[in-house]
A and B are shown apart, each in its own frame.
Chain A
Amino acid sequence: MSKIDVAPPYTAVSRHEMFPEPRHDEAARFDFLANLNKFLAGTLGPGNKLAYDRRVLPAFVKEHGREPKDRFEIRHAMNEDPFHRFWSALKRNSMEMRQQNGRAMVLRQLDALDAKARAFNDGKDTLELDPSVAVPRYQAAVDIHCMPGSYHGEERPDDVSAGANYDCGLFATTGGALGALNDGGGQALVEWVRKERPGWEPRRVLDIGSTIGHNVVPLALAFPDTEFFAIDTAAPSLRYGHARAQALGATNIRFIQANAEDLSRWEDGTFDWVQTTMFLHELSGKALPKIIAEGYRVLADDGLMLHVEQPQYSDDMPLYEQFIRDWDAFNNNEPFWSAMHALDLKEEMVKAGFGRDELFTVGVRAVVDTDIFPEAPTGESEDHGRAAVWNAYGAWKNAEAIQEAAE
């Protein structure tokens, strides 16, 4: 008989030197939440589709004489259904508890965490903070993921609470599916690029919207001679992220407080690889094309642009699935999730300058130690929008032209 599917214990997470130290009961709180989230997604989640098929859709058709025309009509109808409402209430509470539990653990030991961060950060030129960088309105209008203070909030000046809270609670949200260091996404990128272009050593890599650097650290460790630049607008996340990277031995990453809408500090063609990981959906409609265009400008010929995201909504995706993937947009403070996933990302990359034949998409599944951590779920138990299964939208810039010139 195979093992019953439960979340791994919280004590299995890797506690690098910057990681908040959980007390017994604090770890137990995350054990509870990780398993609760599995229950809500896997056991109760399918009830939403049943409620839709058996109650909501027939009632909608009866009232309107037609099926819903988009995911918004489904949402309005489902928001009247008692099963969906109660499931949503449970899921929202789980997210609020995750934030409370994470913040309680971090804030209790904030003196120690700040001191550890200072020990790693002070005097290092690989952390570059710039107080003149404003938090963009699209990051400040609501607290993303219901994180009080979002990525940029400070409990007191110069603290690391936002980054530490983000790091310690990813486990609960994903049921452990991102692995021991929450870096299953970054590890997947390493695995993919090694296979895609064996022997490639990029000179410089730009990671945009890096938060605590959990996706870029595996890359930096895999390419120790490459210069990495991790930029974000949120100073508390960068302070924590820089210290975290140093603790993990990734000293070839420069963490810089900057807004990627303006990369003018870098000349055209500076980077061999420009990437974002689960970042584009946190951008406004105006910021996203600017950032992709700036990324294109600073990308060298034969360079790689890669955006890791959840799958975009397309005509091929059933409207119900679009609706359930939209849950976080309206119930977990992800204000751009819905609009961004309806964008034709390939079109945005073409507008930025890529040729259509340079574009590709690739499926990415978190790489984790499957002896301990669960493999990214697919199918019925997938927590839509949170599962560690992504689509990467990529392009090699002018690769063919370079090849022809060489021949």
Chain B
Amino acid sequence: MSNEPIDWMTRANLKAKGKRPDFLADPEEEKMLSMLMAVIGEISVLRERLDTVERLLDAKGTISRDDIERYEPDREAGQERGEMIREYIARVMRGPQQALQALEEFEPPVQDVVDELRDS
């Protein structure tokens, strides 16, 4: 067995074999969305790390990097952090969620409302 070193950061990004479907109108938009999603994910990671630091400081007063790496939330903290992430995702996904709501409400265009109110 070989232990030849590999450039794991580059290798982690490999594309899966098989043509990627087009979802959005423009291939550039696909790339922008993938970058945005990665950034959204990394902000969530930062928030969780900060939460770890705060919890450890509350509990211990002073901490090391190793404490952060080894931290594991208990049942209650795990639930609270899950709720924190859920709230964060809901905030970021406001646009898509409002698109869903628009589908539920089936509203007429605002111009129709303007026209109706102008004459009423």
Where the two chains meet, the residues of A that have a C-beta atom closer than 8 Å to any C-beta of B are 3-4, 6-9, 11-12, 23-25, 28-29, 31-33, 35-36, 38-39, 43-44, 46-47, 50-51, 54-55, 82-83, 85-90, 92-94, 96-97, 99-100, 103-104, 107-108, 110-111, 114, 118, 141-143, 146-150, 155-159, 330-331, 333, 335, 372
Lowest 4 CB-CB distances: which A-B pairs, in order? A6-B82, A142-B18, A107-B8, A89-B23
Q: List 14 A-B contacts (CB under 8 A).
A: A6-B82, A6-B83, A9-B73, A24-B48, A24-B52, A31-B44, A43-B100, A50-B100, A86-B96, A92-B20, A92-B23, A97-B41, A111-B5, A142-B18
A contact residues around B9 at 8 Å (CB): 104
Chain A residues with CB under 8 Å of B96's CB are: 44, 47, 86-87, 90
Expressed in whole angstroms, the minimum distance between the Cβ of B32 and any Cβ of chain A is 11
With A44-B93, A47-B103, A93-B34 as contacts: A155 and B6 at CB distance below 8 Å: yes
Q: A90-B37, A331-B21 are in contact. Are A32 and B103 (CB under 8 A)?
A: no
| CB–CB A11/B73 < 8 A | yes
Taking CB as reference atom, which chain A residue is nearest B17? A143
Give the chain B neighbours of A110 by CB distance below 8 A: 6, 8
Q: Is B38 an interface residue (CB 8 A)?
A: yes
Nearest Cβ in chain B — how far from A17, in angstroms?
Answer: 18
Known A-B contacts: A4-B83, A7-B82. Give 5 more (CB < 8 A): A9-B81, A28-B45, A31-B48, A32-B41, A96-B16
For residue B1, CB closer than 8 A to chain A, the reply is yes
B residues adjacent to A (C-beta < 8 A) = 1-6, 8-9, 11-18, 20-21, 23-24, 30, 33-34, 37-38, 41, 44-45, 48-49, 52, 68-69, 71-73, 75, 78-79, 81-83, 85-86, 89-90, 93, 96-97, 99-100, 103-104, 106
Contacts of A158 in B (CB 8 A): 1-2
Q: Which residues of B contact A86 (CB under 8 A)?
A: 23-24, 96, 99
Residues of A contacting B15 with CB < 8 Å? 148
**Chain A residue contacts of B79, Cβ below 8 A:** 3-4, 6
Q: Could you tell me if A47 and B100 are in contact, using CB atoms closer than 8 angstroms?
A: yes
Q: Contact check, B24 vs A333: say whether CB atoms are below 8 A apart.
A: no
Residues of B within 8 A of A89 (CB): 23-24, 30, 33
Chain B neighbourhood of A104, CB < 8 A:
8-9, 12
Q: Are A47 and B11 in contact (CB under 8 A)?
A: no
- Cβ–Cβ contact A47 & B2, under 8 A: no
Taking CB atoms, residues of chain A closer than 8 Å to B86 are: 4, 6, 35, 38-39
Interfacial chain A residues near B104, Cβ < 8 Å: 50
Given A110-B6, A114-B1, A148-B16, answer yes or no on A92-B100 (Cβ-Cβ < 8 Å). Answer: no
User: What distance in Å separates the Cβ of B108 from its nearest Cβ neighbour in chain A?
Assistant: 13
A4, A46, A92, A157: the one within 8 Å of B2 (CB)? A157
Given A11-B73, A87-B96, A92-B21, CB of A35 within 8 Å of CB of B16: no
Residue of B nearest to A148 (CB): B14
Give the CA-CA distance A3 to B76 in the complex, in Å. Answer: 11
**Contact: B99 with A142, CB < 8 Å?**
no
Nearest CB on B from A366, distance (A): 19
